[in-house]
Amino acid sequence: MEKQDVLNDAQDITIVRNLGNGNFIYGARPSLETQRHLYELSISAPEDANIPEFKSGYWEFDEETGINGSSTYLALRFDKCSLRPFGLWLPELLEAKTLKSQGKLEKGVYRDYGIVVFNDKNPDEDVAKALVSQARIMGLQLPLIAPFRALDYSVNGKQINPFFVQSSQGIISGESARREIDLFDYKGDSGVCGLYLDRNLDLYSDGGGLDNAVDDGRVDWVCGETHRAELEGSFDALLEREYGKEMRRKRESFQRLLVQ
């Protein structure tokens, strides 16, 4: 699979941000076939097989709805194992808000978008302490909003240890993070919390449970960067898939009328 494959057969494509240099950040809703491939990649690492956080939640591929289930840890693994090798990522907070404002996210399911680190206390105190310590070394101020692509994890026996990647992208910190958190519909003020849109598209970051997952979680949109020509070509192909057959049928019907 190549990065372009996600665009070539996408169910939907949108522009998330114009980078001003001829390139764009796009959102794509992968086809069911591509979702199946990405799902299989997410569960392929043998060292992850016995990690409780990856087994305690709902995570499967459905032939009609795609990837079902999600949690902070499951989404982090998906981002790392399935998307990053192709230059793709799960939406960051601002990208998720753009998808929501464009009407691309239907209600009735929830979606994970990263974490919020308030301080080094509970919930998930051990993880919070490790992330706060690293954030201080990196010169980042609390609170932090971190997308999945700014995170990685190591496996020690049956334990998962999240950490920030060295060239972290998309982290919002300090007062900028506080301004965003103040806009959340529901928010905590301690420890490390998952960041997600709930079934009503309300923005949450409160409570613990980084491994909590149920069957109405979804991983249905991904983001990437490419140039204008590729996006236009991919969108034209999408229109042909969606409407070409119907247009050809109408044209043939009209042509039959012409010869009567």
> What average pLDDT score do residues 194-206 get?
96
Q: Where are the domains of the chain?
A: 3-238
Helix (H) or strand (E) holding 60: strand 60-62
Distance CA 233, CA 145 (A): 34
Residue 83 pLDDT class (50, 70, 90 cuts): very high
**Cα–Cα–Cα angle for 171, 174, 179, nearest 5°?**
90
Are 194 and 175 within 8 A, CB to CB? no
Q: What is the pLDDT of residues 208-244, one digit of tens each?
A: 789 999 999 999 999 999 999 999 999 999 988 888 8
pLDDT score of 127: 97
Between the two ends of the chain, the Cα-to-Cα distance in Å is 49
Collapsing DSSP states into helix, strand and coil, what is residue 63?
coil
Distance CA 132, CA 57 (A): 26
Collapsing DSSP states into helix, strand and coil, what is residue 124?
coil
Distance CA 117, CA 189 (A): 9
Q: What is the pLDDT of residues 115-171, one digit of tens each?
A: 999 999 999 999 999 999 999 999 999 999 999 999 999 998 888 999 999 888 899
